Each structure stands twice: as C-alpha cells, then as structure tokens.
Amino acid sequence: MPFLIRQTLVYAVPLMIVALAGVYAERSGIINLALEGIMIFGAFMGVLFVHMVQQWGWFQSAYDAKNYLALQGFCMLAILFSALLGAVFSLLLAFAAINLKADQTIGGTALNLLAPAFVLFFIRIIANQNTLNMYTGDSASWFMLKKAMFGYGRTEKMGFLGSTFVDKVYVATYICIIVFIIMAIILYKTRFGMRLRSCGENPQASASLGINVIKMRYAGTVISGALAGMGGFVYVLTTANCSANGEVAGFGFLALAVMIFGNWKPGNICGAAFLFGLFKCIAASYSTLDINGDGIYALKNLNINTNIYRMLPYVITLVVLSFTSKSSRAPKAEGIPYDQGSR
Amino acid sequence: MNKASFLDKEATRSVLASLLAILIGMLVGSIVIVIVGLTNPSLGIKGAWEGIRLVVGGLFATGRNTAGKLTFGFNPTSFGNMLFRAVPLIMTGLSVALGNKVGLFNIGASGQYLAGTAGSLYVALTLPTSVFPAWLVWLIAFLFGMLCGALWGAIPGLLKAFLNINEVLACIMTNWIAANVVTWFFDVSNLKNMLEGTKSGYVYKTSTVLNDVVIEGVRSTVGAAVPEGATVTATRGGVATAKMGLDKLFSGSQVNAGILVAILIAIVIYILLSKTTLGYQMKACGANRYAARYAGIRDKRNIVLTMAIAGALSAAGGALYFLSGNTEFFWNTYQSLPAEGFNGIPVALLAINNPLGVMFAAMFMSMLQICGQKLTELTAYNEYITNVIIAVIVYLAAFMLVIKTWIAKLRKGKAVSR
C-alpha cells in the first residue's frame, strides 16, 4: 500500500501541475496545445542544468559529505531553471497567438514539433547519444529522501506514514503540490487571478474595465510555460532517473485531458490527476503490486493484459467526456485572438 | 478586376507564402548550424559550411572524395529513397489536409496510420499465398488496412458529431489507444519475427515467405527452406508492392509503385473536393457547420464521413509503406507514436491544404529527411536539425494563414467602400 500511494503520487503530481499550466493559459484565452513540447523542453533544460553544475563540481563536496540540505537546494535550483526556460519557450506561443493573432492550435503543434527536434539535436551533440544523463551518480542518490537521513537503520521500519510519505520520496513532489495550491489560490482569490480569468471569458468587457488584455494573456501563457517546464523536469527526475531523451511519453497531452476532465477547475483537476496517476502506476507495476500486504499479487492473478491497463486512462477520458461534454465549462473566449475592435 | 487574374494572384501568393516559409526555416536551421559550429572546436566554421551545404543540397550529396571534400552529383539512391519516403507523407498529408478543409484538425493521423499498418500486415502475412495469387493478397491487405483506418478515424468523428467532444482531444486519446491496441495485437500474434534471432521486436517483412509445416505431428512455422520430412499445410507471405521498373531507374533505392498509387489517390481527393457535390458539402460544413445545416446539408454525416476518409488515407500510408516488402514494423509502439502521422501536419500546412500541393510538400519533406540522413553520415551534426526546420515552417504557417485572410479582408473592405 505505501508503494502504491507513493508511486501514484509520482505520476499524479506532474500531471496535476501541467494540467494547472493548461488552466492558466486557457483561462486567459490561449489554447496551450504545446504543453507536451514545453514539458520536453523544460525537462531537457533541467537535466542540462544538473549535468553542467555537476560537471563544474559545485555540489560534489556536498554530495561527498552527505549534506542533504545542499543537495535539495541544488534540486530546487534545477526546478527553478527549468521553470524559467519553460516560460521563455512559451513566449514563442504567446508572441504568435497574441501579437500575430495566429491559429493557436497550429502554433502549439509547431512548439510540439520544435521541442523534441531541438532537444534531440543538442543532446546528440552534447552526449553523442539520444539520452542526456546526469554527469555523475543517479537521481535517487542525489535528490531522494531516504530513511537513513533521519537516523533509521537499514532494517528499521518507519511506520505507515513514514514509509509512504518520507522514505524514497522526492522533495520535488511536495514542492509541486505546494506550488499547485499557491497557484490555484492566486487564480481564484486574488485580483490578478480574477482579471486573468475574465480575459478568457470576455476580453472586450475586461478591456472596457481598464484591464490590459494583452498583458494578461502574456501572463497566462508565461505562467503556463513555467509550470509546464517545471512539471516536465519533475517528471523526468522522478520517473526517468533525471535523464532527458526528447520525450515525456505523452504526459503533456494526458495533462490536457486531465484539464478538460477536471472542467478547468483546480480541485477537480487534482482528483482527475490522481485517478490517472493511479492507472499509470498500476500499468507500470501491476505484476508486483501487493495492495493489502498479504504477499499475493492480486492484480497479476486477474491475468489481464498489460496493454489494457496502459490504455485505460485514455479510454476512461473518452467515456467520461462523452457523458460530461454537454456541461463542459470551457473558457468562452479561448482560442479566439483578441481583437480590440470587435465589441 | 477580372476573376481569372485574381485567382492567379491568389495561387501565386499561396505558393510564395509557402516558399517564404521554407526559406526562413532553412535560414533558422543554418543559423543553428553556424552557432553550434562556432562553439564546437571540432567543427569550426568549415564544418558549419559543410553542414549548411548538406542541409540545402543533401539530396545531391554523393559522399566525400579522397581529399575529404564533399562531392555532389546525381544520386539515384537518394532520389529513389526520397520518392519512397514521400509515400506515407503524401497520404498522412492528404488526411490532415482533408480534415482542415472540413474544419477538423486531424491530429489523429498517427493512430490511423497504425491501424492501417496493423490491418494490412495482418492480412498480408495471414492469407495463404498458396491459395490466392500474391497480387490479390496485396490488394486485399491494402483495402483491409484502409478499412481499419476508416473505422478508427470514424471514432473521433462520431464523438465530435454526436457528443460534441473536441476532435483534437478525441484524436490524441485514440492515438494512444491505437498504440496500445496495436502493441497488444502483435504481442499475442504469431507474426513476430522469430526466424531471424537479431530481429527482436519486429514483425516479419511482408516479402518473407512463411511455410506452416507439420513435422512429426508438431505444427510450426519455418521460412522459405522447408526441412526434409515436413508436410507444408500452407504458404503465407511473399507479398510486396510491384516495382514497375522504378528500382532500375533509381538503382539501390527502396522505391516502388507505391508512389504512383499515392499520386493517384491525391488526384482522386482533389477531384472529390473540387468537382463533386459531396466535396462541396464537406467544405460547406468546414466553412460554417450551422449555416450548412440550414442549407439542408447533413453536417453530422459529413463530419463522420470526413474523419473516416481521412482515417482511410492515413491508413493507406501505413499500408503502402509496410507492404513494400523491404520495411519492417517495430510492433512495440505503446510508448511512441509513428512520426509519419505528425509529419502529415506540416505537409498539409505547407501545401495550404491543396491535395495536389500535398504531393510536392511531401516530396520536400522527404528530401529534408534525406538531407538529415546525409548530415549524420558525413558530418558531426545529426538529422534532428531537419526537424527543427520543419517545426519552424509549421510555426510560420500558423500565422501565414492569418496574414492571408487579413489581406482577403482588406480586399473585401475595399470592395464594400467602393
């Protein structure tokens, strides 16, 4: 059970944060189909940051001295860096969609094509192979919380809460949850958030009240890029041993589905992300999953093909959407370029 | 202003816009190459210059001479491979272009391509060639692949028409479902290549001859060479697209008659869209679904039909590519979708959704792929730079359409004021 919850968190958290990225863009009126591309870009930049800083030897002494606080700080810096670069990358979409009034779907598709191409081009030049790894060590030994850090011995148990939420968990996961809560509150409880949302519903009305729609849409897209970039890095950090290879296994598109599934509302998105995370987790590890700790792999004994578990999140999305699409609460002005003249 | 010259101008403007996009894409690619060359001491400005020449003219590259200089000339292998690789791109490009004409963004070409691949491979490797002639098996496999793709493409169409689910989302979901279904299908099938030990994860080539044999009461499958004492119950495989002399024209390449089939289909789609009532109704739905319904056009039927045809087109791309007999399908696709599906999007955009333009855009894209290949072979750069160029072209295409509608609006405005 601790393993199941821990693994579900690992898959659910990137989905959650990237889906919120989608909400920020769409609530400001820009369809961000480029989430996948921004994730790929952010993941590459974060891994590159870790790779370079390790190469320069800046944190080697901290690692040797087992100074976990410094290593966690290093991890935070990498997350910040990937968020920053994700934001910069999303400016491409913002410029095309806001200033040039471009087709946002095609613009997003362009970014989705650009990110893996660009990333793989540089990975091949830097690493001479298709994957960029950490310069030294692995992500678990550098960034993961372990019971040894809290004075527990190899054979000692940490209890249910400890082994679920502390042992073998990345702090980055909790950072994402905190950022998710803060950003959700900003979107709903602050003046800025409400103004941003108004631009996705009726930009002309917002403009008549003195809100700068163009600025707000830029803000929405850039915040979206930062969150997606960060989500991308956290995804590869926690599931791919901090290595970038120009793909995030369709997580960006899945996050888009989570966003629509969650009806553009942070609370629902949280629930949807956990549902998807659970299925991802089951698909990845059902054959060794011991849910109630009795030593029997119940799901394996059901004898269902792996591919069924793998496709379940997508099938469920379609089924649920076919029941709920009539009551969908998509932002009214999303995808429509803002034209000051049309009132 | 008379009508003909205006149309001429419109067409020229479209072609010019696409050429401009290509030019800027190439320019951005070259800039990246130069920057990388200057920061990388092993490449230098000389390496960068070689890289740029290969990106632009890689199709004509013939290798390096003894002095280590790049040589250029007519390269029949590259030309033939360009034509061969253009086939799936033409088909997925047509699929996306047809969707765009009807106002549907078909991002599901990958899944439909996979459906067509699986369907055609299944028939080509299962129908006994000892009973049916090989050309008939090829034809049935091709048509069955298209049928699979049409059914798969119809799913997002149905969801869009009757449940109002955004087709982009439905397409993305069906893509991943297709990837898993296809993996599952081949996982449990007996079409995995077991004869060649080094080929793990691949399905047999359709040209492989398989014999179902009974040796001392035990059933098994062997290749063309049947061991002594075995009874052959059925012969399968040995199916490949006709070459029609193209392999002699372009020696050493994989080209076959598939390119002719693709061009023929492009012409059929052109006629469908511009000369038939059905095509007119489809385009009317794309222009304004509700106005079309008011005019008595069955919009829901047209949406489903469009997606089904688009699915069949993508599927035909997969079928033509893998029925060629010299390509192998890697069946474990659940983690990554085939790039041909997504490359249909830039092809359609570059061709401004014109079925005849799609042929040229696809040739251009496959030429870029050859250039990338040469770049990897001959320099320290790699093929992904051509994908960067393609992405830049798509990015430009996003507002190329906007600029053109803006010009059209300007003209309309003038007409009114006059």
Q: What is the per-residue pLDDT across B371-385, written as a single tens digit (0 to 9) for each?
A: 988 888 888 888 888
C-alpha B74/C-alpha A13 separation (Å) is 54
- Chain B environment of A113 (Cβ under 8 Å): 342, 345-346, 387, 390-391, 394
Best B186, B395, B410 member to test A by mutation, with max A CBs in 10 Å, is B395
Whether the predicted pLDDT of B152 surpasses 90: yes
Q: Do A311 and B401 lie within an 8 Å CB cutoff?
A: no
Higher pLDDT, residue A204 or A313: A204
On whether any CB of chain B is under 8 Å from the CB of A126, the answer is no
Nearest to B391 among A103, A114, A317 (CB): A114
Compute φ and ψ for B239, nearest 5 degrees. -105, 130
Contact A256 B184 (CB under 8 A): no
How far B175 CA lies from chain A's nearest CA (Å)? 9
- Give residue A186's pLDDT: 94
Give tens-digit pLDDT for B206-216. 888 888 888 87
pLDDT reported for residue B6: 53
Evaluate if residue B405 carries a pLDDT over 80.
Answer: no
Residues of A with Cβ-Cβ distance to B184 under 8 angstroms: 305, 307-308
Q: Are A334 and A31 in contact (CB under 8 A)?
A: yes
Compute the distance between CA of residue B84 and CA of residue B373 in angstroms, rounded to an integer: 15
Q: How far apart are CA A41 and CA A89, in angstroms?
A: 8
Instruction: Tell me what the mean pLDDT of segment B266-292 comes to.
Output: 89
The answer to whether residue B115 neighbours chain A at the CB level (below 8 Å) is no
What is the pLDDT, as a whole number, of residue B267?
Answer: 95
Lowest mean pLDDT, pick from B13-17, B156-160, B276-280: B13-17
Q: What is the mean pLDDT of residues A158-186?
A: 86
Under the banding of pLDDT at 50, 70 and 90, the label for residue B247 is: confident
| pLDDT at residue B307 is higher than 80 | yes
How far, CA to CA in Å, does A252 sit from each of A34, A38, A228, B183?
8, 8, 8, 22
> Which of A33, A90, A93, A311 is the best mutation test for B, with the most CBs of B within 10 A?
A311
Interatomic CA distance for residues A66 and A87, integer angstroms:
33
Per-residue CA distances from B384 to A106, B45, B212, B368 (Å): 20, 20, 43, 10
In whole angstroms, how far apart are CA B414 and each of B9, B410, B417?
17, 6, 5
Sequence ranges of the domains in chain B: 1-74+380-418, 85-195+242-357
CA-closest candidate to residue A50, choices A93, A6, A80: A80
Q: Is A208 in the B-facing interface, judged by CB distances under 8 Å?
A: no
Q: Please tell me the predicted confidence (pLDDT) of residue B172.
A: 86
Q: Which residues, including other chains, have CB under 8 Å from residue B347's CB and lie 6 or more apart?
A: B89, B90, B92, B93, B96, B97, B358, B361, B362, B365
At residue B401, does pLDDT exceed 80?
no
Number of Cβ within 10 Å of residue A104's Cβ equals 26
Measure the CA–CA gap between A159 and A214, rounded to whole angstroms: 52
| CB contact B164 to A (< 8 Å) | yes
Residue B402 at interface with chain A, using a CB cutoff of 8 Å: yes
Taking a contact as any Cβ pair under 8 Å apart, which residues of chain B between 170 and 199 contact chain A? 170, 172-174, 176-177, 180-181, 183-184, 187-188
Phi and psi, residue A169, nearest 5°: -115, 145
Res B415 pLDDT > 60: no
Asked if B334's CB is within 8 angstroms of A110's CB, the reply is no
* Residue B7, pLDDT score: 47
pLDDT at B314: 95
**Residues of chain A neighbouring B163 (CB-CB closer than 8 A):** 321-322, 325-326
Does A182 lie at the interface with B, CB-CB under 8 angstroms?
A: no
Q: How far is CA B152 from the centre of its chain?
A: 17
Query: Given a cut of 90, is residue A217 above it in pLDDT?
Result: yes
Tell me if B181 and A92 make a contact (CB, 8 A cut-off): no
Where residue B211 falls (left for φ over 0; alpha for ψ -120 to 50; beta otherwise) is beta
CB proximity list for A199: less than 8 A, separation 6 or greater: A27, A28, A29, A206, A211, A213, A216, A217, A220, A333, A338
Question: Does the predicted model carry a pTM greater than 0.80?
Answer: yes
A116 touches chain B (CB under 8 A): yes
Rounded CA-CA distance A44/A38 in Å is 10
B106 CA to chain A: closest CA distance, Å? 11
Cα–Cα dist B47/A49, whole Å: 27
Give the residue among A132, A119, A135 at the shortest CA–CA distance from A58: A135
Instruction: For an interface test with B, give the residue of A32, A99, A264, A310 to mutate (most B CBs within 10 A).
Output: A310
Look at residue B75 in the predicted model and tell me its pLDDT.
84
Residue B183 has pLDDT above 50, yes or no: yes
Chain A residues closer than 8 Å to B334 by CB: 307, 310
* Closest residue, chain A, to B339 (C-alpha): A113
Q: Which two tokens stand for residue B374?
A: 């040469």
3-state helix/strand/coil string of chain A: CHHHHHHHHHHHHHHHHHHHHHHHHHHCCCCCCCHHHHHHHHHHHHHHHHHHHHHCCCCHHHHHCCCHHHHHHHHHHHHHHHHHHHHHHHHHHHHHHHHCCCCHHHHHHHHHHHHHHHHHHHHHHHHCCCCECCCCCCHHHHHEECHHHHCCCCCCCCHHHHHHHCCCEEHHHHHHHHHHHHHHHHHHHCHHHHHHHHHHHCHHHHHHCCCCHHHHHHHHHHHHHHHHHHHHHHHHHHHCCCCECCCCCCHHHHHHHHHHHCCCCHHHHHHHHHHHHHHHHHHHHHHHCCCCCCCCCHHHHCCCCHHHHHHHHHHHHHHHHHHHHHHCCCCCCCCCCCCCCCC
B344 vs A contacts (CB less than 8 Å): none
Contact criterion met (CB < 8 Å) for B163 and A109: no
Contact assignment for A118 to B384 by CB distance below 8 Å: yes
Residue B190 neighbours by CB under 8 Å, 6+ apart: B221
Higher pLDDT pick, A227 / A100: A227
Q: At what angle do helices A251-261 and A266-285 cross, to 10 degrees?
A: 140
B12, with CB counted inside 10 A (0-12, 13-18, 19+), is exposed
What is the share, in percent, of chain A residues with pLDDT greater than 70? 93
Most confident of A155-164, A320-329, B169-178: B169-178
Phi, psi dihedral angles at B62 (to 5 degrees): -120, 5
User: Is B168 in Cβ contact with A116 (below 8 Å)?
Assistant: no
Residue of B nearest to A112 (CA): B391
Give A324 to chain B, closest Cα distance, Å.
Answer: 9
- In the predicted model, what is the mean pLDDT of residues A33-37? 92
**C-alpha span between B387 and B68 (Å, rounded):** 27
C-alpha distances (whole Å) from B132 to each of B118, B127, B138, B244, B397 are 20, 8, 10, 21, 47
Give me the pLDDT at residue B1, please: 45
What is the ipTM for the molecules in this complex?
0.85
Q: A62 to chain B, minimum CA–CA distance in Å? A: 31
Q: Do B397 and A106 touch (CB under 8 A)?
A: yes
Q: Report chain A's mean pLDDT, rounded to a whole number.
A: 86
Which 3-62 residues of chain B touch chain A by CB within 8 A? 32, 36, 40
Q: CA of B388 to nearest chain A CA: how many angstroms apart?
A: 5
When pLDDT is averaged across residues A4-13 and rounded to a whole number, the result is 88
Give the length of chain B: 418
- A341, A204 in Cβ contact below 8 A? no
Which of A161-165, A266-270, A333-337, B121-125 bottoms out in mean pLDDT, i.e. has the lowest?
A161-165
Residues of A (185-204) whose Cβ lies below 8 Å from B = none
In chain A, where the domains are located: 12-249
Looking at per-residue pLDDT, the higher value among A210 and A297 belongs to A210
